[in-house]
Structure 1
Amino acid sequence: MIRWIETHVSLSVRAGLALFGAVLLWSSSFIALKVAVAAFDPMVMVFGRMVSSLAALVLLRFTVWRRSAAPLLLDRRVTRREWKYVILLALCEPCFYFVFEGHAMVYTTASQAGMVVAALPLAVVVAAWLALGERPHPRVWAGFALAVIGVVWLSAGAEVTESAPNPVFGNILEALAMLCGAFYVICAKQLSSRCSPVFITAVQSVVGFFFFLPLLALPMIPLPDHFPLLPTLAVIYLGVGVTMLSFLLYNFAVRTVPASRTGAFLNLVPVLTLLMGMVCLGERLTPGQWAASALVLGGVVLSQWKTGRATEAVDGGMERGSV
């Protein structure tokens, strides 16, 4: 099947499908996170996610990919200098990203978290400005300001509910996770031409495993004494489907798909998350939050308006320079 796809489907189509698959999995992750944190401490949930991801990756490497030349962990093409950025990539995501997002889902709804993440393409441009010295077009800054206002409005208009006891704090944590994700995108784009998707994903899983393992020994983290079926399945899904498969798909797609198109696909995350939250969790937004969400998406669209230098600025933030 895989060989038939490689033979009959063009690389650009495969990359586009891979990117859409990654976006679909990322969108569903907010739903699975809400289910998982209802039964497990966020750090326990994330560690289980890392274990299931790493186990699935090792299983695939020695079954489906047993004849593949792609290295699992040791890639001789990666220089010592580049290894620093590989580790930085893994620390940004999954490590600190999951710390912030795991706790964010305790305090806010999946729909609101998805809307906060809508500003990720803009955060990528800001990260490129900070890390690479890129100078975004004023249109990008205007879009970023609009999106930030929308996120603040979304949080201020949030209602306290049983599933979202402190939505403002939760949305702040999700915004911090988004910043980690932005620096991850920068690192991934710089390394994608030299490192295989399997290698990058494996490093992320291994670093995440050893990062979260000692956190379980902290006295303030309760370890589970039983494992409810649905939350346990949600953790496994997060590890195998979202952490492992989505990173594989994204790391494959980012080698081919232009940055502007990547940003356009990422804009689907809040929309899909909102729909999934309404259908699966019964979440609802207030009229003011709908307006705030439109402001966030409007800021993203404004920043990516395809006119001359504005497009170059957005593309450049993800494609040029070296970390």
Structure 2
Amino acid sequence: MPAALAAAAVTVLFWASAFVSIRSAGDAYSPGALALGRLATAALLLGAFALVRRVGWPERRAWPGILTSGLLWFGGYMVFLNWGERLVDAGTAALIVNVGPILIALLGLFVLRETAPRALWLGIAVSFAGTVVVGLSMSGGGRSSLLGVLLCVLAAITYAIGVVTQKPALRYGSALQITTYSSLVATIALLPFVGVLAGEMAEAPLPATLNMIYLGVGPTAIAFTTWAYALARTDAGKLGATTYVVPALVVLMSWLFLDEIPGLLTLAGGVLCLIGVAVSRRRSGRAEVPAVATPPVPAEPPPTPAAAPRDH
């Protein structure tokens, strides 16, 4: 379990940094082109690494999960989020997309038959409240679009479905296999944007292109692989709740790298997100302290039967 937690920590760190990089790349690249460039970079890197490691094809039973998560999560989620964030403010987008962990917990309960202890739901509630606080503090109150809200809702839904369908696939393939082929599926699905990507890359400033490449290397190739590694070793609902660390990390990174000094409301929301994740990771008292069995009261010994005669 410590290895799974370490892998999840790598994932949320890279995913938080993605929001900072998207700020630069998103100014020069349209949503579909940015998603294609990011995924193509990841697919090339993962494919080369898989060839070096001589990673073969996953089992046939893994492909439904690979295709579903590749199309919906790797591909659809990124396009919907990139597009939605152009139509609504960052705070609104963060609020809607962070419904995703709640949907993951619900789908994990009904589809994967996972347990959902009260600590998990309490932690999700506290973290979501923190996301609301962070979102309100980030919202400028100006930009709002029904289409943008719907796109962010689609991003949350495709994210949740992708995670839940990826979980069974990890029984029949390694984290590297599942992530590599999911990235390849998404890249193929987004090939209609290749002309747009080529045209925008010719005019984009170098920092924007470098940020797009970074999005493919860190937040996609590495982070999605460490996520799959952790997902194979823990419940989808519990792992989904750990992503509520991301808003707190985004606040910190924006402070360090973008000189965006957070207000007290933003800091308070970030602290709530961290507290909620800590609560969701707690085990119930019954699981941690097993009940001590009361020794049975010895019964009176039965009377000694008379010795049976021996046969001669």
State if a TM-score over 0.5 links the two structures. yes
Task: Using the TM superposition, give the Cα deviation of residue 61 of structure 1 relative to its aligned residue in structure 2, in angstroms.
Answer: 2.9
Match runs of 1:202-217 below 5 Å: 202-215=180-193
Alpha-carbon distance between aligned partners in 1 of 2:252 and 2:89, rounded to the nearest angstrom: 13
- Kindly indicate whether the alpha-carbon contact (under 8 Å) linking 1:109 and 1:283 is maintained by their aligned counterparts in 2: no
Matches within 5 A, 1:79-90: 79=61, 82-90=62-70
State which drifts further: 185-194 or 28-37.
185-194
- Give the equivalent residue in structure 2 for 1:3: none
The offset of 1:96, in angstroms, is 1.5
1:124 match:
104
| 251-260 vs 225-234, which moves further | 251-260
Partners of 2:182 and 2:105 lie apart in 1 by 23
Given candidates 269, 284, 287, the residue that maps to 1:307 is 284
Deviation at 1:282, TM superposition (A): 3.2
Paired with 1:176 and 1:284, the residues of 2 have a C-alpha distance of: 31
SS in 2 for 1:183: helix
1:30 matched to 2:7? The reply is no
Higher CA-based Rg: 2
Per the TM alignment, residue 302 of structure 1 is displaced from its structure 2 partner at its CA by: 5.6
* Amino acid paired to 1:97: Y
Shift of 1:41: 0.8
Q: Does 1:102 align with 2:79?
A: no
Alignment match of 1:187 (pick from 165, 171, 178): 165
Cα distance change on mapping 1:309 and 1:158 into 2, 3 Å:
farther
Q: Kindly indicate whether residue 258 of structure 2 is the aligned counterpart of residue 281 of structure 1.
A: yes
Q: CA deviation at 1:193?
A: 2.0
Could you report, residue by residue, the CA deviation over 1:244-263 in whole angstroms, capped at 9, with x for unpaired residues?
Answer: 12122222233335657635
What are the Cα deviations for residues 48-105 of structure 1, in whole angstroms up to 9, with x where unaligned? 112211221232233x32xx3x21xx32x223xx422321121221111112221234
1:91 aligns with 2:71: yes
> Which of 190, 207, 211 pairs up with 1:234?
211
Structure 2 counterpart of 1:318 = none
C-alpha deviation, 1:25, in angstroms: 1.2
Measure the CA separation in 1 of the matches of 2:267 and 2:213: 32
Specify the SS of the correspondent of 1:126.
Answer: helix
Counterpart amino acid of residue 277 in structure 1: S
Counterpart of 2:60 in structure 1 is 78
Point out where structure 2 has 5 or more consecutive residues left out of the alignment.
Answer: 289-312
> How big is the alpha-carbon RMSD for the aligned residues of Structure 1 and Structure 2?
3.9
- Count the aligned residue pairs: 287
Unaligned residue ranges in structure 1 (runs of 5+): 1-11, 312-323
CA gap 1:140/1:198 in 2 versus in 1, 3 angstroms: closer
Q: Secondary structure at the match of 1:195?
A: coil
Tell me if 1:60 matches 2:37: no
CA distance in 2, matches of 1:157, 1:16: 30
Aligned equivalents of 1:168, 1:183: Cα separation in 2 = 23
**Partners of 2:97 and 2:156 within 8 A in 1:** yes
Output one character per residue of 1:126-163: Cα deviation in whole Å (capped at 9) or x when no partner: 222454466845676666566666655655554439xx
Kindly provide the amino acid, as one letter, of the partner of residue 211 in structure 1: A
Cα deviation digits, residues 168-197 of structure 1 (max 9, x gap): 976764454233222222222222121122
Q: Say whether the 8 Å CA contact 1:147–1:300 is kept in structure 2.
A: yes
Do the aligned partners of 1:122 and 1:140 also contact (CA within 8 Å) in 2?
no
Mapped partners of 1:128, 1:150: distance in 2: 23
CA distance in 2, matches of 1:111, 1:275: 15
2-structure distance, mates of 1:48, 1:142 = 38
Tell me, yes or no, if the aligned pair for 1:119 and 1:296 is still in contact at 8 Å: no
- 1:16-71 per-residue CA deviation (whole Å, 9 max, x = no partner) reads 43332222111111111111101111111111112211221232233x32xx3x21
Task: Tell me the distance in 1 between the aligned counterparts of 2:250 and 2:26.
Answer: 17
| Aligned twin of 2:243 | 266
Match of 1:248 in 2: 225
Paired residues of 1:89 and 1:187 also in contact (CA < 8 A): yes
Call closer, same or farther: CA 1:259–1:174 in 2, change over 3 Å: same
Tell me if structure 2 keeps the 8 A contact 1:42–1:103: yes
Counterpart check, 1:178 vs 2:156: yes
* AA matched with 2:254: G
By how many angstroms is 1:232 displaced?
A: 0.1
Task: Provide the residue aligned with 1:45 in structure 2.
Answer: 34
